[in-house]
Amino acid sequence: MLKRAIFDKKNVLVTGGAGFIGSHLCDELVKTCKVICLDNFSSGDERNIDHLLADPNFEFVRHDITEPIDLESLPELAKFKIEFQGIQEVYHLACPTSPKDFEANRIQTLMANSYGIKNALDLALKYEAKFMYFSSSVVYGPRREEDKKEKIKESDLGQVDISSKRSSYDEGKRFGEAMVLNFRDVYGLDAKIIRLFRLYGPREALNHGNMVPDFISAALDNRDLVVLGDENFSSSFCYVQDAVDAAVKMMETEGAGPINIGSDVDVNIIDMANRIIAMLGSRSKITYADKMLFLTPLCLPDISKAREELGWMPVVTLEKGLEKTIDDLRASKGLLGVRQAL
């Protein structure tokens, strides 16, 4: 195995690093590592990483991971001495995730879950880096009516419809896992799979069909909270920082996964909406609209494997997580108002 000198800190690559989850991961990693954030803003946002751009241990590269990239040829990465130190860890998150734009992004989603993961895996192979693939609970298929409250284990083979209009994402994530598993077996790559369930928190995109930020934004303005579906919709909600902590823990272990990361507490969406209205003292009412293709009830995770192998469980309560998300949205709406006034 090729040994490379690590000059002071590990070099870490995060694809999709300007996205909702990726930007929080960059925040955590830059505390101890030198972070290369790669994104093409297909669903990420430059505002998510603005606060990191002045950090000498952080560098943003605008690039579509479905196209190959030579990191050593980029002058902005010269400070990372990649030709000598290489890359020690690759976190692959790049994939369009906007519920509102899901149908328009179906081909880009397929490309991200095929060419994108192949290019990310090739970089990990080149530098003999640890690799983590951020998969999704969608590999299990939709929540099954006959066992709505049953918590799903990693050993469940899932029920995904290849002919569904969701298949670019659902089957794409399954294919991505197959890529990782085969690269691990054939090339001996230290590759890991983390399966995320529904997350929420600061920086989740507004007006894209993401329930929690859209509810909070509407409640702040005393507008109606629009439920996409009916009063029976329920889901689990895990605060984003809890999921980031799990990913960092897993990268440090010998475990390869797949491993479920999320909350195992089922929350009715009407209860969530009413809780947000009450927390803000809002005059908003709840209304209903047609559901979106990308927003379907998901299985609840069995997280016993994460507890046993990582010593992990979600620690941020829904009340505290909503408070943090409200504070962030209140600040961002204020900043948006200032920018519009200018």
Assign 4 to helix, strand or coil.
Answer: coil
Task: Exactly one of 133, 140, 169, 200 is catalytic; name it.
Answer: 169
Please give the Cα distance from 121 to 128 (Å, whole number). 10
Peptide bond just before 258 cis, omega within 30 deg: yes
Cβ distance 85 to 4 under 8 Å?
yes
Beta strand ranges found along 80-181 (DSSP E)? 89-92, 130-136, 151-152
CB atoms within 10 A of CB 122: 14
Q: Which two tokens stand for residue 207?
A: 């007006």
Note if 169 is an active site residue.
Answer: yes
Nearest to 278, CA basis, from 196, 209, 215, 186: 215
Cβ distance 237 to 263 under 8 Å?
yes
Please give the Cα distance from 131 to 92 (Å, whole number). 8
Cβ distance 155 to 260 under 8 Å?
no
Consecutive H or E run containing 334 = helix 318-341
Could you list the active site residues? 169
